[in-house]
Amino acid sequence: MSQAPTPSTHALPSYLNADQLGPWGNYLKQVDRVTPYLGHLSRWVETLKRPKRILIVDVPIHLDDGTVAHFEGYRVQHNTSRGPGKGGVRFHQDVTLSEVMALSAWMSIKNAAVNVPYGGAKGGVRVDPKKLSLGELERVTRRYTSEIGIIIGPNKDIPAPDVNTNEQTMAWMMDTYSMNEGATATGVVTGKPVILGGSLGRRDATGRGVFTIGVEAAQRIGMEVRGARIAVQGFGNVGGIAARLFAEAGARIVAVQDHGGTICREAGLDVPALLEHVRLTGSVAGFAGADKMADDAFWSVSCDILIPAALESQITAANAGRITARMVIEGANGPTTPEADDILHERNVLVLPDVIANAGGVTVSYFEWVQDFSSFFWSEDDINARLVRIMKEAFAAVWQVAEENKVSLRTATFIVACKRILQARELRGLYP
């Protein structure tokens, strides 16, 4: 009798070998942990371990010097049982298929956790955008959009900004798709400029969600936000906005790290001044109102709340034991490895997982999509109020499941989300 494959190997697509699991392997471990809590729905669990559709495309463009360059692009649709695929597009030199697969799966979980009617998808191009001119970046964006145009659409799969992409990127994507379709299709992407059908409040939405979930959790564990000492990794639209909102609530931002370096100030950084410095220079490095510190020392900085808001796999078994915070709020996608998760749990550090903590962005993307379909737009106050209500309700449901099952908030979020996804799969059945 042959030996049964391990869960991770069983779910390993033929186009990846065991040494290439990467972030996808972390996601598979998370699914394995939640499976015992799924009851009769566990018979469908393989649905969660296999992306529905993967598209790998060549992205050739003319560079400014007249030569032709080729970049590799991806669009992965993990699951569409609950609605169209939804997830960002990132431009980064280290983008891999494993990463995009994992990010698409986490989008499935995130969308189900906050109960917006989307499945999960993600895209990326392996390119260093800092080495391209604005014209070259536009050509990469338009060619990539044309290549994945066969699987995206307002009712199929709706991209959004992610790492190194922004409102302008989405405007180019929307225009390219619309030109190919022969009609303006504002709903094909979210995170667009407001003048092109974007939503008020979208730019701050992910950071606002991080802040909202952090405040909700702090109340439940008896932590005062006013006076709390906070360390933030990543200072863009997520980390920077979350830092601003926490500072406005009376917290002290004592350390910040980004791609340019790490700075600290025990009395608290001037967040508005730091945001302006980053806008002008592109990094926190060289900020006059702070002291410089070694990058690795960031993980040992004395703080009450740590917000990793950069890239995945930043908190690992190598540094998790040095973290002093009582609470970790995951602003980035997948910033904590499963091994680090266990270490933090053993040390009674409350981890607010990405799949609920950073869901503010996709929630307001949902609002934008709805507004585009109706051509009726809400005020920013309405947007923020709806966002806070949905985030609070979602977190309350996750907290209740965590207490009932005596599991971590990550496992509880996966329980809530996976049940919703698999219930939809079961009810829809298999066709043909």
pLDDT digits 0-9 by tens, 226-240: 999 999 999 988 999
pLDDT at 22: 84
Average pLDDT over residues 79-84: 97
Q: What are the two backbone dihedrals, phi and then psi, of residue 126, each rounded to the nearest 5 degrees?
A: -80, 95
Confidence label for 202 from pLDDT (cuts 50, 70 and 90): confident
Determine the length of the chain. 432
Average pLDDT over residues 49-65: 97
Nearest to 237 by CA among 335, 164, 329: 164
Q: Which CATH class is domain 52-182?
A: alpha beta
Nearest to 368 by CA among 227, 167, 168: 167
As given in the structure block, the two tokens for residue 323 are 């973290």
pLDDT at 12: 55
Query: Is 292 considered catalytic here?
Result: no
Average pLDDT over residues 240-267: 94
pLDDT at 23: 86
Q: What are the two backbone dihedrals, phi and then psi, of residue 406, each rounded to the nearest 5 degrees?
A: 55, 50
How many Cα atoms sit within 13 Å of 232 on the Cβ side? 33
Contact present, 301 and 254 (Cβ < 8 Å): yes
Candidates 3.40.50.720, 3.40.1390.10, 1.10.3720.10, 3.40.640.10; CATH matching 205-357: 3.40.50.720
The secondary structure element, H or E, covering residue 87 is strand 85-92
The CA distance from 400 to 396, in Å, is: 6
Confidence label for 7 from pLDDT (cuts 50, 70 and 90): very low
Contact present, 257 and 285 (Cβ < 8 Å): no
The conformation of residue 252, written as its DSSP 8-state character, comes to: E
Q: What stretches of 313-415 adopt beta strand conformation (E)?
A: 327-329, 350-352
Task: Give per-residue pLDDT as tens, 33-43.
Answer: 999 999 999 99
The CA distance from 384 to 415, in Å, is: 27
Q: Would you give the end-to-end CA distance of the chain in angstroms?
A: 33
User: Is 2's pLDDT higher than 80?
Assistant: no
User: Is 272's pLDDT higher than 90?
Assistant: yes
In terms of pLDDT, which residue wins out, 136 or 289? 136
In terms of pLDDT, which residue wins out, 145 or 29? 145
Average pLDDT over residues 133-147: 98
Q: Which of 20-24, 83-87, 217-221 has the lowest mean pLDDT?
A: 20-24
Torsion-angle region of 256 (φ positive above 0: left; ψ -120 to 50: alpha; else: beta): beta
The CA distance from 189 to 312, in Å, is: 24
Q: What are the two backbone dihedrals, phi and then psi, of residue 151, each rounded to the nearest 5 degrees?
A: -120, -5
Percentage above 70 pLDDT, the chain = 95
Q: Where in the chain is the domain with CATH 3.40.50.10860?
A: 52-182
In terms of pLDDT, which residue wins out, 22 or 31? 31
Confidence label for 203 from pLDDT (cuts 50, 70 and 90): confident
User: Is 360's pLDDT higher than 50?
Assistant: yes
432 upstream amide cis, omega within 30 of 0: yes
pLDDT at 372: 95
pLDDT at 13: 60
Catalytic one of 49, 86, 122, 192: 122
Whole-model pTM over 0.75? yes
How many Cα atoms sit within 13 Å of 183 on the Cβ side? 4
The conformation of residue 282, written as its DSSP 8-state character, comes to: S
Q: Where in the chain is the domain with CATH 3.40.50.720?
A: 205-357
Helices (H), 182-312: 205-221, 239-248, 271-281
Contact present, 248 and 228 (Cβ < 8 Å): no
The CA distance from 403 to 254, in Å, is: 32
**Amino acid at position 180, single letter:** N
The CA distance from 46 to 10, in Å, is: 9
Contact present, 86 and 107 (Cβ < 8 Å): yes
SS3 call for 107: helix
In terms of pLDDT, which residue wins out, 5 or 124? 124
How does the average pLDDT of the chain come out, rounded? 93
In terms of pLDDT, which residue wins out, 26 or 429? 429
